[in-house]
Amino acid sequence: MPLGVLKEDEFLTELEKLNGKVISSAKVIPAKQPGRNGKEETPVAIRKVIAGEPLSAGKELANLFNVSESSVSAYKVGATSTATYNTPEIGLANHARSAREKIALRAGKRLSLALNHITDDKLANAKLSEISGVARDMSTIVKNMEPPAEQQSGNKLNAQFVFFAPRLKSEADYDSVIVSEQ
């Protein structure tokens, strides 16, 4: 009988092969569940739900779905764990990006509506602070939801500058002139 992890029925089959010889020291040890510390792996559907909630607080999502806050932050960028944070899973990353783009699109529409309501009449008569507050808030949402400009273009700004300093001259580099004093 090979050593290793056996299912209950496999164990009983092997036990019967011993022709009735009962080994009293044998015991069944339950197998550990996959995941960390016996915790099951988070299903892909739950990861997508978490990634699709870019405006929700990480602590709330962690408590709601019984995952760690670091897992929530990883899911929001498309990674499956903090170890794979810089190499996100394509499907999850696309889902998170599309959720952010939808929110940015809605906020952009609201921003446009708010800006359209700032008219000459309202500038003269109404509290401008309320209307401009909505416009400011919506523009902040749009800015936060859109990827940075360097990610949109795919180009990263990697300008490098090399400065050369002139070599310092010593006394030996100069010609000597002997002057006699008479």
Q: Mind listing the pLDDT tens digit for each residue in 24-72?
A: 666 666 665 555 665 667 777 888 888 878 777 778 878 777 778 888 8
Q: Read off the DSSP letter of residue 177.
A: -
Whole-number pLDDT of residue 156 = 60
Torsion of CA 81, 87, 90, 93, to 10 degrees: 60
Tokens of 71: 């897992």
Instruction: Say how far apart CA 43 and CA 67 lie, in whole Å.
Output: 11
How large is the angle between the packed helices 69-76 and 90-116, nearest 10 degrees?
A: 80
Give the pLDDT confidence of 102-151 residue by residue, as tens digits.
888 888 888 788 778 777 777 667 677 877 877 787 788 777 777 666 55
Instruction: Say how far apart CA 44 and CA 42 lie, in whole Å.
Output: 7
Tokens of 24: 């009293």
The kind and range of the H/E element at 71 are helix 69-76
Tokens of 163: 């400065």
Whether the CB-CB separation of 47 and 80 falls below 8 Å is answered with yes
Instruction: Say how far apart CA 48 and CA 60 lie, in whole Å.
Output: 16
Its pTM stands at 0.48
